[in-house]
Amino acid sequence: MLKKKVITIFKLWLNGIFYIGIRYPRDVEKNAIVKQMHAKYSKTHSCWYVDYTSDAYTLLKQHFKEIIIDSTPPFIESLPAVTGIQGRDLSPIANSTHQLSAEPALDTDHKTMNTSFAHSAKLQLLKNVGKYWVFKMNYHAKISKQLLAIKGVYWNSNYKVYMVFRHPDVKRKVEAVLQTNSFFGSDYYQAETNLKGEELTVRPHAEDNNWMEVFVPKKVVAHEAIKRLASARYSKIKDCYLLPAAPAIFEGIQLLIDSLELTLINQLPPSYLHAQKLPNRKSLDLTRTKQHLFEHIPEKGVPWISNMVDYLLALNYSTNTLRTYTTAWAQFLRHFDFQDPETISQKEMISYLGSLMEKGLSSASGHTLINSIKFYYVQVLGKNSFDLRLPRPKSEKKLPTVLTIDECKRIFDVIVNPKHKLLLLLGYGAGLRVSEMVNLQWKDILFDEHKIHVKNAKGKKDRMVMLPFSLVESLKFFRQMYPKHTYVFDGQYAHEPYSTRSAQEVMRKAILRSGLQKKATVHTLRHSFATHLLESGTDIRYIQEFLGHASIKTTTLYTHITKSAVNHIQSPLDRWHNNLNQDLLPEP
């Protein structure tokens, strides 16, 4: 049994059918349980759901120690009249199991909505985000379709809200659909271009004097401008931007003030600014990762997580390793309610790992979890003589997805944006990882030698890879267009690299437009690069060097998926019995 197996269930109306909705804080173990019950996830309602039956309810009670029942009636859009009755509904989920098995009875007390749509849909206007009004409401299929048909209205799937461009025409159309007046204010986007006289305040950051707090006017133009300064990040707690307390950054703020005609309120003490406070990109990544890791850790678990983070940082491990190990360690401690790790027995550890494997945890995730546990006990606590003797889950022998040359061409042909096309072409042509693609700088491309110097790659290793001859002219032309760029593929803000998420999104959209049925990612291009080289007769040791594999065993994986060799292998049955089909087929 899991500890604290608590969930909340409620009656969910979805696509004209009632379901049992299931909600709980994000939990990998609970996800595995509800998946075994064939539950589905609704992005619209941010919950899992199963059939509205007594069997489903019984299964929930068997798997979860405590169930909280939310009896709030669900929002239901108007239904057509049925045999003279205005509508029908099921009663809310109750503690009784009989209710779930009972046939839905007609509710004679049910009435059609005679109140306004704004009231029934529970319209709620939220804080503006940039140039958009933001609001949320109960789901209504017909109204949602009408809203999204209006130019300037967008659905944000992450936060489950509608975003409306702050313009008078858009406001009028949206309010007509919502059947309400004056729902939005008159704070239109066009009214924010004049910032003359507005104040920008700079203060010291009490928690860390390497940073300074920048408070900007509540205008989109000001926010967009400050975000373009290097290393700027927003603090929700303080409702301001945090920037490195370096003279170069402060000069950038002053230039920004002059261009927008803002008034500077400088509250920094003398000598607060210093050049050494300007962090490098690695420092920024580590700071952001560390901040993210502690967001969902309760206070009693902070010491054990801090020990892990501090030791990983001291050993100069990469950001990815810091994130992976600490996340796995936090998952382990969460199961034991963040108790002191030294009080957890080896038997409890094995039981926990076994339960995860039973729920379908992959062997790769299992190895990561074991590695993080052993790292903490052996490295952090210094228990060198302590042998955990944890069982290693058997690894699945999975072959990577590989695209044919024709499939690669189909993907590249549907990409219109030159930057996006060059990004994927270079990744395929040089066999680069997605992180290597986006972090590539112009100084790393050796045009005269037709090589690319990949620096600080996986395992903190450098290597030389080929620069495809077919891309040289395109790269030179691209560099002439953006001569001041540091990175080959600059990101949204100046002197920042393109994000890996954006690169993956480019690939995802290209796959959709190409019509390919294979599930491919940017890394699939790297697999395809290696496979195509091997098929053309390239020595596998050269391919190992190009890919940066520490062991030849990793590279030999591609020998199992090369088509040229496999297609020429004949079954022994075919060699000695060529007329087998004639023997098996009936005589005419």
Active-site residues, by number, are 433, 458, 523, 526, 549, 558
The secondary structure of 279-291 as a DSSP string is: --HHHHHHHHHHH
Backbone angles phi, psi at 209, to 5 degrees: -75, 5
Backbone angles phi, psi at 76, to 5 degrees: -130, 130
d(CA 396, CA 61): 33
d(CA 254, CA 247): 11
- 3 state SS of 32: helix
d(CA 553, CA 275): 47
Sign (positive/negative) of CA torsion 80, 83, 85, 87?
A: negative
Task: Judge whether 7 and 64 are in contact, CB under 8 Å.
Answer: yes
Backbone angles phi, psi at 55, to 5 degrees: -65, -45
Tokens of 312: 């990983």
d(CA 174, CA 269): 49
d(CA 504, CA 245): 33
Residue with tokens 């060799």: 565
- 3 state SS of 198: coil
Q: Fill in the amino acid letter for 164.
A: V
- 3 state SS of 475: helix
Task: Judge whether 272 and 246 are in contact, CB under 8 Å.
Answer: no
Strands 161-165 and 199-204: unpaired
Strands 445-446 and 451-454: antiparallel
Task: Judge whether 289 and 319 are in contact, CB under 8 Å.
Answer: yes
Sign (positive/negative) of CA torsion 509, 510, 511, 512?
A: positive
